[in-house]
Amino acid sequence: MHFTSLNSANISFDRPSSIGCLFFHGFTSTPEEFRELAQYLADEQISVEIPLLPGHGKTPAELSQTKWTDWVDCAREAYFNLRKNCQQLFVGGQSMGGTLALHLASHYPVNGILAYAAPIEFHHSLLRFIPLLKRFIRYYPKSQGNDVADEAAKSRLPAYQVYPLPAISEFQKLIKHTFFDVTEITAPILLMHSRQDHTIPLSSSELILGRVRSTEKKLVRLEKSYHLLTVDYEKEIVRRETLQFIRRFAHLDH
């Protein structure tokens, strides 16, 4: 099967601030899903880094060769790079990126966690057949494309249009590992999830809320968006809640 490369790259907004925000994009997606939110925070003098995760932003063939530990290693490296310039650090992510942020926050100190529609459990009838199917079929098509209610935003967002089955198995390993990790989390956490999410059910964020040991925790339930909250109809709410959370748990130096 022939694929055209997305040619995506990291996104970085460096600001003269002690506050840094590290975001991770979702499975089969790119840093572009965080560009608008990152610009919004950068305008508030917050440094933002969004690394391109291994296997992403090029072709699905590359993702099919990627292990879940490659994503974890990338997240860890990005954390320590941003930590060099920012004494106060927030980590966040959308979907699988949120799972990565939770994993990172369970092992390293952070000022807060921002998890947008993050899975720590995922049930689908196809999953139990993947070990067999991936021997014969490497790619499963996205029948509806990206899970975004806003059609204009959906059309602008670069992402793979297929799921590499071997990579889905790796995603499952990350989810299972993080399910146990989150009980180590004590940092403040803001969760956001839509009731209309067709990819990851709201119950996943409710489960995270119950499993973390954080005393400061909040779940914002959205009504009009689908899965990709940072680009969908309620992105203004996402921006506002995100900035308020950062301002509450960090001292902004401006």
Find the domain containing 58 and state its range: 11-249
Give the C-alpha separation, 238 to 93, whole Å.
Answer: 12
- The tokens of 53 are what? 């995760």
Question: What's the confidence (pLDDT) of residue 131?
Answer: 64
Q: How many other C-beta atoms are found inside a 10 Å radius of the C-beta of residue 91?
A: 29
108 vs 115: CA distance, rounded Å = 16
Mean pLDDT by 10 residues, the chain (254 residues): 88 94 97 98 97 97 96 98 95 98 98 97 65 71 89 94 90 94 97 96 96 98 98 98 96 48
How many whole angstroms separate alpha carbon 136 and alpha carbon 103?
A: 32
**Residue 254: predicted pLDDT:** 38
- The verdict on residue 128 lying in a domain is yes
Assigned domain for 5 exists:
no
The reported pLDDT for the residue numbered 126 is 61
pLDDT computed for residue 253 by the predictor: 42
Residue 122 pLDDT: 72
Is the residue at 1 inside a domain?
no
Residue identified by tokens 């995506």 is 8
Distance, CA of 210 to CA of 202 (rounded, Å): 13
* Chain segment 99-113, per-residue pLDDT in tens: 999 999 999 999 999
pLDDT digits (tens, 9 = 90+) for 20-30: 999 999 999 99
Q: Dihedral of CA 165/98/67/129: which sign?
A: negative
DSSP code at position 158 = -
pLDDT for residue 143: 79
| Residue 149: inside a domain | yes
Which CATH number goes with the domain that contains 205? 3.40.50.1820
- In the chain, how many domains are there? 1
Q: What is the pLDDT of residue 124?
A: 59
CB count, 10 Å around CB of 87?
A: 12
Short-list 3, 20, 100, 115, CA closest to 57: 3
98 residue type, one letter: G
Q: Is 2 within a domain?
A: no
The whole-number pLDDT of residue 130 equals 64
First-to-last alpha carbon distance for the chain, in angstroms, is 52
Please give the DSSP secondary-structure letter assigned to residue 248.
H
Rounded distance between C-alpha atoms, residue 242 and residue 229, angstroms: 12
| Residue-wise pLDDT tens digits, 179-216 | 999 999 999 999 999 999 999 999 999 999 999 999 99
- CA 20 to CA 245: how far, in whole Å? 13
